Structure 1
Amino acid sequence: MAKFVYTGRDRRGPKKGTLTAHSKKEAIEKLQSNGIRVKEIEQKPETFWEQDIVIGRAVKLEHMVIFLRQFAALLQAGVTVVDSAFILSQQTDSKPLRRALTNMEADMREGRPLSEAAEKQKKIFEPLFINMLKAGEATGTLDQTFSDLAVHYERQHRTRQKVISALAYPVVVGIVAVFVVIFLLVSVVPTFVGMFEDFGGELPAITRFVIYSSEWMQRFWYVIALLAVLAAGAVWLLRRRPESKIYIDYAILRMPLFGNLMRKAVLARMTRTLSSLFSNSVPILEAMDITGNVVGNEVIAGVIKESRQSLERGESITGPMQRHWAFPPLLHQMVAIGEETGSLDQMLSKVADFYEAEVETVTDRLKALIEPLMIVLLAAIVGTIVISIMVPMFEIFNTVQEGS
């Protein structure tokens, strides 16, 4: 719901105030039903505290896929675009998407085309979506366009979930390991320090190290917390700066174990996006601009930009790809065949299918490899702390036995 400020008149004289409604049209209808003739009305800007806090995508991919499939089904059933937007705005579970559809419905009832109405909702719909809508409107195949978009986002969501599942396990286990170590050093180890001091004698090096770490942790725990916050803030700031983001994206693609997975996922997204745009008659130069903006990796985006410039010069699109380490021979060879045969969208779709399958295979292998490695690592860390405590205790026990 949005807030609107209005001025007008009723039987008693001038009126002004605020009201809430889904759209400007609905606000005017509410005022007219109350006997107020509207002179001016405008949407009141949201304050910081009234705004929805959004981290990541404004609309989840699964909600977007459901919306696209339902929109396609309604259009195929003969429902108008305006009525389809109204129906879906009433039943979607996503608040940002509901608000966007309500605004789009109001714009379309004022005579604007669907693509123009959607373009005003830039926080919800990315350039890929807008340009495919424009192509669908131009060719009169909006229902098919929505079906194609649903397939595109569905595959993107599946690939994304595979990557997340591969990265989630080591991250979760790593966080658990950190908290276990902190708990042992802060709560468990200090209970044995007094016993070791009473015992006297020379403690093993590993025990001295663990005791020193425990004392340091208790004394300077805030330093670790501050460093963690500063590190997270630094990464966030660097990711927001284009000149530094490219170095982070390069490091991601070069990571041991996970770099190959991330590269395949980015290439799958790139080829799938290009294929979807080409198959919906979006001009090739415009399609490459859109893909560069949504691919999600500055290294790959840079190569796409070079390929676009190569195409403008009348050269092959594959030249910059052949010279770059991130693009395997399979990709640029298939693209070259697509250029020669005039079936670039089909070739890119096949490449996207291949890399999406590769992402699935690699994630399964990584999970099978990482799980035992993380368990061994966690056992080694905890075991080291336990052994550092047990060794002096055995010495104390032996000393007591010999003394008796």
Structure 2
Amino acid sequence: MVNKISKKELIEFYRVFGILLLSKLSVIDSLEIIFKQSKKNQLRRVIKVLIADLRAGKSISKSFQKHSKIFDEVFIANLYVAEETGKLAEVVSEYSSYQEKFFDLKQKIIQAARYPVFVISISFGVIFFMLYYLIPSFETLFFSVNANMPTITKILLAASNFIVMNISFLFMILIITLILIYFLLKTAFVKNKIIDQVLIKSPIISKFYLHNLLARFSLSMGILLKSKVPLEHSLRISRNISDNSIFINEINKIIYSLTKGKTISKNLIKSEIFDLTFRKLIATGEESAELDKVFYLISEFYSKEFDNKINSITTLLEPLLILIVGLIVLIVLVAMYLPMFEIINYIGV
């Protein structure tokens, strides 16, 4: 399928396409060079169709719009404006930088979650190994000498026995639970009424989520407005950077207020998403008629805020997670070795 072109491949395409256009090569010549250099079959197929359409007399924007599942609305809107202004090379080059920044913002979320998920997974793996393999080997020894076991040891042995005897049932329950969670997350009610609400209103999660969301939204608005895409159309395109229903509703309200002659900043007063800093900066941009520059500044501001928060929480989580794993292992080892001392004393007697 041609729509399986990776984000990294697309970013590289935009980067090279922009450089070639800035070098005064024609659109077709630039695409032909990329076609010859590319080793990705999916991308080559798309470029081949683009070249054929352009040679047939289609406009650049129409040719790219034909592949709307690959080239997003922001890029297509920029191409339409570039055709009118004659600044295609500058627009594509600017869009390449935009895509790199946008990709980095999304990757930061993944990178921030990767370490905690890895440590937690290892923790569960260690706990399972001890309960399923290690502890049962001690049980026979303890009972053979009628060792006096502390409460914590008895609890661990009971948990171990339960897991060993019901492993198939527990595994089945786990699979069913994961499948149910997957399908529940896909339902509109759970997503719109629970997940979206948590992301926006949760005291801890919202700080990370909103800063990243505002950085991406502002970056999208900045490049569109800089390319002279009308404000209302820029908002319609930029709302698609997220599928959060609360965010989309907020943007829809702004779009509606614009049709009534109101400014963006006035419509943000009671917003759950756009904070005071955002509102003040937008008001400044509206007064100075430089909204495009202000949106770029907002994107930089929230991107740095997001980075600072991620670095802070990562610095805190790393030793904390290691400590938790260490404590779990220590508790299990102590629970197993306390009866061993009694056995040693018993043998010594």
2:167 to 221, 241, 255: 221
In structure 1, the partner of 2:263 is 316
Secondary structure, aligned partner of 1:364:
helix
> Does 2:248 align with 1:301?
yes
1:158 CA drift (Å): 2.1
| Aligned counterparts of 2:169 and 2:252: Cα–Cα separation in 1 | 43
Q: Please, what is the CA RMSD of the aligned residues?
A: 2.1
> Does 2:87 align with 1:141?
yes
> Does 2:192 align with 1:271?
no
Question: Superposed, which structure 2 residues align to 1:1-400 within 5 Å?
Answer: 51=1, 58-200=4-146, 202-246=148-192, 247-255=194-202, 257-400=204-347
Change (3 A) 1:91 1:346: same
| Aligned counterparts of 2:256 and 2:170: Cα–Cα separation in 1 | 47
Identity of aligned residues (%): 26
| Aligned counterparts of 1:100 and 1:250: Cα–Cα separation in 2 | 39
Name the structure, 1 or 2, with higher relative contact order (CA <8 Å, separation 6+): 2
| Aligned counterparts of 2:203 and 2:180: Cα–Cα separation in 1 | 22
**One-letter code aligned to 1:159:** L
**One-letter code aligned to 1:163:** I
Secondary structure, aligned partner of 1:318:
helix
1:340 CA drift (Å): 2.1
Change (3 A) 1:101 1:361: same
In the alignment, structure 2 segments of 5+ residues that lack a partner are none
| Aligned counterparts of 1:239 and 1:278: Cα–Cα separation in 2 | 35
Secondary structure, aligned partner of 1:322:
coil
TM-score using structure 2 length: 0.92
Give the structure with the higher percent strand. 1
| Aligned counterparts of 1:68 and 1:209: Cα–Cα separation in 2 | 60
1:252 CA drift (Å): 3.0
| Aligned counterparts of 2:129 and 2:305: Cα–Cα separation in 1 | 40
Secondary structure, aligned partner of 2:262:
coil
* Residues 105-114 or 136-145, more deviating: 105-114
1:189 CA drift (Å): 0.8
For the pair shown, the structure with the greater C-alpha radius of gyration is 1
1:255 CA drift (Å): 5.0
Give the structure with the higher percent helix. 2
| Aligned counterparts of 1:100 and 1:245: Cα–Cα separation in 2 | 34
In the alignment, structure 1 segments of 5+ residues that lack a partner are 1-50
Secondary structure, aligned partner of 2:166:
helix
| Aligned counterparts of 1:265 and 1:389: Cα–Cα separation in 2 | 46
